[in-house]
Structure 1
Amino acid sequence: MGAEEVVLLLIAAAAAGWVDAVVGGGGLVQLPALLLAAPDMPVAAALATNKVASVAGTSSAAVAYARRTRLDLPVALPAAALALLCAGLGAASAAAVSSAVLRPVVMAALLIVAVLVVARPALGTAARPGLRTRGRVLAAIAVTGGAVAFYDGILGPGTGLFLVIAFTTLLGMDFVHGSAMAKVLNTSTNLGALAVFAVQGHVLWGIGLAMAACSVAGAQLGARMALRRGAGFVRAVLLCVVAALVVKLGVDQFA
């Protein structure tokens, strides 16, 4: 890998860190950059190395959010513990499931997210604490720490978006608080998947750690912008990322 390719990866990591910190979906930038810079790299190595940078960026963003906004720890802690396990199980199952089978399902889910956000302009603009019930709390833990975490381990694109939407619709959080919670969960899912990839020997640690440093820089900038500009800004970025993900998955599906 030459100097130009390395610079491309570092820039992509910083951009991905920014996107992940605001709403999620940084893999849309980072993973294709890895495959473009090193076309001979095995897909498993690209996925694993991508997780090194993602763990650094999302954990850094989680700390930034935690300093400025209140996290719902009774939901975040058990969901994060479950996510660590389920993401690891997803990563361990990745070789047995064809991504071509999953892509149409993910595209449909992303389109539903887009329609939901567009059709309900008030969604996520302000907190709705009245929605929080014990049943909804348990559902949020199961969905984010179980289903979404497993998906992140097995495929991954759009994980942050699904987490934000889950917290917003199930618990009535605004987009900023939903994004803050998503960073905690996404850190856990990334760690669970990375642990499996590391044991399997897929991680390219040198380039992964260099990308991680840039991802942290981008994540800090993104978290500060989201906190300063509020839910409307997060909503706009969310819709842009959803559109980009649908296009990317569509191209991959029919290429």
Structure 2
Amino acid sequence: MAHPPADPRGCATQDPAVPLSAAGGGSVLVLLPDGLTPSILAFVLVAALAAGWVDAVVGGGGLIQLPALLLVPGLAPVQALATNKLASVFGTTTSAVTYQRRVHPDLRTALPMAAVALAASFGGASVAALLPAPVFKPVIVVALVGIALFTAFRPSLGEVTALRHTGRRHSGTAAGIGAVIGFYDGVLGPGTGSFLVFALVSLLGYDFLHASAKAKIVNVATNLGALAFFVPHGSVVWGLGLLLAAANVLGGYLGSRTATRRGTGFIRVVFLVVVSALVVRLGWDVWTETLRPLAR
């Protein structure tokens, strides 16, 4: 998901004006937020379970998990972002392992792509403060609408694997995808898994099932890259994050098994639903952050 900007001293912030230390960051080890009640905990655990399932099938689980975390009293936005990443590392790792056992994706493509994506995600998180996220969001919304229409009106897209490139061109394209989407995950983040799936299907020629399997491996790397940025600043709420991780693991396991059992057609449908939800979510952000202030 989108990561907090860094201030000129290199300290992550919950917004451009509030230092991370004011949000419970710095060297303090935070286990649970003060406002967490049993009912709220139950709510976020259910959200994490659902997020793990969606992430495993086609990506986009952050659409469920992060908003749930932002509702926890006493949890600063930067802590919600960091804690979401901690849980997601466990969930996407479980999904990646399950896909590896059941689908056997080609690691010669996935692992180098993941290595590039990890470095790009860390770099994106590090320079997020220098890039105007509100300017990017309208572009992302337009891109998502294009992706949804392109997928919806090409029923054969991603039905079978028909690689578009071989050799160095294939490897170079995969590395380029990892760099661009990894950097995007560091700077902004929503829908990283879905962008990965679409790129693997449309640019490299994988079917939706094998694209999802590879995307999980790369998504583990982008989550680790972002987490490597958050942890030194003390912004992870470890107790809550590990509880969410357990729910993410279960959701990821169930989702990856469902995807491998139901196959490409099922993943395609879920992909279109998630992309549509991303359009609504980011479209709302564009309206509230950019268009509505201009209309006043």
TM band (smaller chain): over 0.9
Does 2:57 correspond to 1:22? yes
Deviation at 1:26, TM superposition (A): 0.3
Determine which of 38, 44, 68 is the counterpart of 1:33: 68
Determine which of 237, 255, 262 is the counterpart of 1:204: 237
Deviation at 1:68, TM superposition (A): 0.8
TM-score w.r.t. the length of structure 2 is 0.83
| Partner in structure 2 of residue 110 of structure 1 | 144
Deviation at 1:37, TM superposition (A): 2.3
Q: Does the 8 A contact of 2:60 with 2:274 survive in 1? A: yes
Deviation at 1:41, TM superposition (A): 2.7
In terms of Rg, which structure is larger?
2
Determine which of 269, 273, 280 is the counterpart of 1:247: 280
One-letter identity of the residue aligned with 1:44: V
Give distance in 1, aligned partners of 2:166 and 2:266.
24
Does 2:243 correspond to 1:213? no
CA RMSD of aligned residues (A): 1.3
Give distance in 1, aligned partners of 2:132 and 2:234.
21
TM-score w.r.t. the length of structure 1 is 0.95
- Give the unaligned 5+ runs of structure 1: none
| Partner in structure 1 of residue 267 of structure 2 | 234
* Identical columns (%): 51
Give distance in 1, aligned partners of 2:115 and 2:250.
26
Query: How many pairs were matched up?
Result: 253
Determine which of 157, 176, 182 is the counterpart of 2:190: 157
The 4+ residue runs of structure 1 with deviation greater than 4 A are none
| Partner in structure 2 of residue 99 of structure 1 | 133
Give distance in 1, aligned partners of 2:148 and 2:169.
26
One-letter identity of the residue aligned with 2:78: A
- Give the unaligned 5+ runs of structure 2: 1-35, 289-296
Give the match's secondary structure for 2:51.
helix
| Partner in structure 1 of residue 87 of structure 2 | 53
User: Per-residue displacement from partner, 1:181-231 (whole Å, max 9, x unpaired)?
Assistant: 000000000001001100121111110110000000000000000000000
Deviation at 1:84, TM superposition (A): 1.2
Deviation at 1:131, TM superposition (A): 4.4
Q: Does the 8 A contact of 2:173 with 2:204 survive in 1? A: no
Give distance in 1, aligned partners of 2:207 and 2:264.
7
Deviation at 1:97, TM superposition (A): 2.8
| Partner in structure 1 of residue 218 of structure 2 | 185
| Partner in structure 1 of residue 30 of structure 2 | none
Give distance in 1, aligned partners of 2:233 and 2:90.
20
Deviation at 1:133, TM superposition (A): 5.1
